[in-house]
Structures are given as structure tokens and as C-alpha cells.
Amino acid sequence: MEAVRQWAFGLCAAAVACALAQLVLPGAGMQRVFRITCSVFFLCCLLSPVALAPGDLRLAAGRQAVLGQVEARSQQLEASLQASALALARENLRLAAGEKLAQLGVEGGKISVDVHAQGEGGISISGCELRLPEGYADRAQEIEAALEAYLGVPVGIGWEKEEVYG
């Protein structure tokens, strides 16, 4: 709509400019040439939206293509950031669990953490799984309670047989 207003204003300004120039022009011989020149100028102003439209359409199509590329890259970046955030949360929780196990004097455990994306930018931590040597089975409740209190997520403990080399 703004483009139509600008075009209409341009037509009015061209008409006023041609009228003022004809009033100022002194000679009768020059007036005929000047009228033709003003008519061509006014016609150019009148047809300028039609003459410039294909270029504007090419620019608009190019702009849409660029916007599509920016959107695609934005989605790729968002997915990459979300995957990085999940991996970082998983690793931080695994390290925190490892530190707490070390404080409890537990060694040789394998820790896995279940982390999932939730909604827009949210992370859901569903739990932490431990695989500990069977030698710690008598301390299972102590270890589980300490880790759940420290991490704030449910902890499950599984047992692995200790291999004896002889």
C-alpha cells in the first residue's frame, strides 16, 4: 500500500513540475519541444511501477531464498545446540555421580544417565543407572539414598560380578 502512495505522490510531483516549467519557459518554439519532453517524462513516471516490477520480483524471490536458507541454518544450529546441551547435562551429572561415589569410597562403577529433550529448550533427566561390583551389594541402600539426595534424580543400581584373576 505504501508503494502505491509513493507512486501517486511521484505522479503528482511530476505533473506539478511540468506545469511550473511550462509557465517559466519563454519561447513559443521551445514550448512544443518542451511539451513532448514533459509528456514523455510524465509517461515514464506513470509506467515506472510496471517497468521496475520484474526487478523487484527478482529481488523478492532472492530475498525469500535467502530467508529460507537462514531458517534452515537456524534450525540446524538449534538442533546442534540442543544436542550439545543434552550431552553436557549428561556428562555433568555423570561426573557429579562419580564424585559422590568417590566420597563414599566406591570404585569401579559404571554410570549412565538418561537425559531427554523436553519442549522448547527444556531438559528432562529421568534417572541415573549404576553398574557396581557385587562387593558393594551390602551398601546398596546407603549408596542409592546418598546419590538420590545429591543428584536429585532417581538412581538404580545393578551389579556386576567381580572377575578374579588367579
pLDDT of residue 145: 92
pLDDT of residue 61: 65
Q: How far apart are CA 139 and CA 143, in angstroms?
A: 6
Do 60 and 95 lie in one domain? The reply is: no
Do 98 and 152 lie in one domain? The reply is: yes
Number of domains observed in the structure of the chain: 2
pLDDT of residue 60: 62
For the whole model, what pTM was predicted? 0.54
Specify if 80 maps to a domain.
no
End position of a domain, from candidates 26, 41, 75: 75
Question: Which portions of the chain are predicted below pLDDT 70?
Answer: 1, 26-30, 50-61, 120-121, 162-166
pLDDT tens profile 89-134: 888 888 888 898 899 888 888 888 887 777 766 778 888 888 888 8
> 16: domain range?
2-75
Specify if 166 maps to a domain.
no
Per-residue b/e over 37-63, b at no fewer than 16 CB within 10 Å? ebeeeeeebeeeeeeeeeeeeeeeeee
Q: How far apart are CA 84 and CA 88, in angstroms?
A: 6
Tell the burial category of 138 from Cβ atoms under 10 Å away from its Cβ (0-12, 13-18, 19+): exposed
